[in-house]
Amino acid sequence: MTQPDFAKAKTTGTGSIPVIDVSGAVNGTDVQSVAQAIYRAATDHGFFYISGHGISQTLMDQAFAVSRAFFAHPTELKRTVAVNTRQRGWMAQGMSKMAGATTHDLKEVFFWGTETQADDPDVLANKPLVAVNQWPTDQFPRLRDELLPYYNAVCDVARRVMSAVAVSLDQSPDFFDGCYAKPLARGQLVYYPPSTETDEAEQRFGVAPHTDFGVLTLLLQDDSGGLQVRSKTGDWIEAPPIPGTLVCNIGDLLARWSNNRFASTVHRVINRTSNARYSIPVFFDPHTDTVIDPVDLGVAREQSAYEPVTAGHHIAGRNKKSFAQYKT
- As a whole number of angstroms, the distance between CA 47 and CA 230 comes to 10
For the chain, the farthest-separated pair of C-alpha atoms sits apart, in whole angstroms, at 62
pLDDT of residue 14: 47
pLDDT of residue 13: 55
Are 128 and 312 in contact by the 8 Å Cβ rule? The answer is yes
pLDDT of residue 327: 63
pLDDT of residue 41: 95
How far CA 123 is from CA of 24, 129, 178, 213, 282, in Å, comes to 36, 9, 19, 21, 21
Q: pLDDT tens-digit profile of 121-170?
A: 999 999 999 999 999 989 899 999 999 999 999 999 999 999 999 999 99
Q: Averaged in consecutive runs of 10 residues, what is the pLDDT profile of the chain (328 residues)?
A: 74 76 96 97 93 97 98 96 94 90 94 96 96 94 97 98 97 96 96 94 94 96 95 90 96 96 94 96 97 95 95 90 68
- As a whole number of angstroms, the distance between CA 249 and CA 133 comes to 25
Q: According to CATH, what is the number of the domain 19-326? A: 2.60.120.330
- Strand order across the beta sheet in which 207-210 lies: 207-210, 267-269, 227-230, 236-238
pLDDT of residue 6: 86
Strand 19-21 with 47-51, pairing: parallel
pLDDT of residue 45: 85
Q: What is the DSSP string of 150-205?
A: HHHHHHHHHHHHHHHHHHHTTS-TTTTTGGGSS-EEEEEEEEEPPP-HHHHHTT--
Helical (H) or strand (E) element with 73: none
Q: What is the number of H-type helices and E-type strands within the chain?
A: 9, 14
How far CA 219 is from CA of 101, 140, 326, in Å, comes to 22, 24, 25
pLDDT of residue 12: 64
How far CA 77 is from CA of 81, 139, 147, 309, in Å, comes to 8, 7, 18, 38
Are 36 and 48 in contact by the 8 Å Cβ rule? The answer is no
- As a whole number of angstroms, the distance between CA 228 and CA 7 comes to 9
pLDDT of residue 326: 55
pLDDT of residue 296: 95
pLDDT of residue 35: 97
Q: pLDDT tens-digit profile of 108-122?
A: 999 999 999 999 999
- Which backbone phi and psi does 296 adopt, to 5 degrees? -70, -15
List strand residue ranges (DSSP E) for 56-142, in order: 89-91, 108-112
pLDDT of residue 207: 95
Which residues are CB-neighbours of 69 under 8 A, at least 6 positions away?
140, 142
